[in-house]
A and B are shown apart, each in its own frame.
Chain A
Amino acid sequence: MNVLEFCRPETHPDIPNVWNVLAPYSAAAQAEQGLSFYKQIYREPAAVHKKLQHITNKEVEQINRRLPQIISLADPYANPKTVSEQHCQDFSLPYLFRLLCGLNPVRGGVVHICPYCSGLLEKNKLVRVETRTCVPKPYADILSEYSQAEKLIVTGQQCIHTETVSRFFVLHLINI
């Protein structure tokens, strides 16, 4: 995923600060070269949870400090071809949700979450999905508009590469 590809300065000069962010699970997996991380989860689940919490805290800290206007958040190591849904519920979703909850809501900007992650958040009743309609336009334009929002907006349920959308989905975190 590369937001920068279609949020280029020449087409979207008003977006100075776009981040691709790996959700905590994938950030940990990437740091451990993927396969050995999956084994660690079996062998030392408690240590992995501790690591995931640490990564979540650090990501929240960095994002709140640097205030990117658009964040594209994905969890490629926790995809349905790789790990089971139960595995996601145990090791990926809780930290993704904590990350979202930790972001400063009055900082503004927009967080796009990849469809699989946002689908799981919804399925597990961690978000409520609101459908909004718009005149057909590139999804990047919607992100661009919301990047200027005063309060943080979270979107998901569709691929960031969608070229034209007439509706999009805003996710409201459910406090639990």
Chain B
Amino acid sequence: MPRTKQELYALLSDAVVEMDEDTSVALSNESVEAGYDAFETIDQGLAKGMERAGKLFDESEYFVPELLMCADALNAGVNILKPYIKTEEQSEKHRIVIGVIEGDTHDIGKNLVKLMLSSAGFEVIDLGRDVPPISFVENAIKENAEIIMMSSLMTTTMDGMKETIQLLNEKGVREQFKVAVGGGPVSSGFAEKIGADGYSSNANQAVKLANEWCRQIK
């Protein structure tokens, strides 16, 4: 007897949490064969699993390596399901420009935030590391992004974040973007001081922040 949708979604969610790529692929195929909606399978199964993994990360049960493996299990399932998503369900994704500020080349945190944002359905434009403030501004405008996320691991480079916000103000486009900052030496106090809209201390919080802002944008 075939599994019900709910059973299948719950198992898919478990497969992601358990970092089980093979099961994720097998269950995603099963969903396609059963004729279940592909978008719903991602949303209610795989993405829910990633949400649970994020929670475990918050609770220090999971760490970066575990999150990466969960994301791989999620992506393996998404790759199977993607071709079956109906066109009308493919709503336009919210766009985020992300990068490590000029002078800094530490990008583990930024890469993790990028991965979590992509897994949560955002379109992430990654500017890489050692990114000049003007480049954040120009790319955010060019890519029609809604959010700019900057990170830094060195106190000596943090001023670049302030400069980016000043440039947004000078160009008269500050209101077009939500700006979030993060990284080792960055704090919510610093974010407030430089006029950023938000601060996140880890990848999961960054996703929550982006989701919250996108709900406001809608």
Tell me which residues across on chain B come within 8 A of A87, comparing CB atoms. 63, 65
Does B125 belong to the interface (CB within 8 Å)? no
The residues of A that contact B115 with a CB separation of less than 8 Å are: 35
B residues less than 8 Å from A77 (CB atoms): 108
How many B residues face the partner with a CB closer than 8 A? Answer: 14
User: Measured between C-beta atoms, what is the minimum distance from A32 to chain B in Å?
Assistant: 12
Interface string of B3-30 (1 = CB under 8 A from A): 0000000000000000100000000000
Most A-side CB within 10 Å, residue of B63, B112, B202: B63
Q: Is A41 an interface residue (CB 8 A)?
A: yes
**How many cross-chain pairs have Cβ atoms below 8 Å apart between A and B?**
33
Interface: B111 (CB within 8 A): yes
The answer for the CA separation of A84 and B66 in the assembled complex, in Å, is 10
A87 to chain B, nearest CB (A): 7
Which one, A34, A42, A83, A84, contacts B69 given CB within 8 A?
Answer: A42
Additional A-B contacts beyond A82-B64, A83-B65, A84-B60 (16; CB < 8 A): A34-B107, A34-B108, A34-B111, A35-B111, A35-B115, A38-B64, A38-B65, A39-B68, A39-B72, A42-B19, A77-B108, A81-B202, A83-B63, A83-B64, A84-B63, A87-B65
Taking Cβ atoms with an 8 Å cutoff, the residues of B that contact A are: 19, 60, 63-65, 68-69, 72, 107-108, 111-112, 115, 202
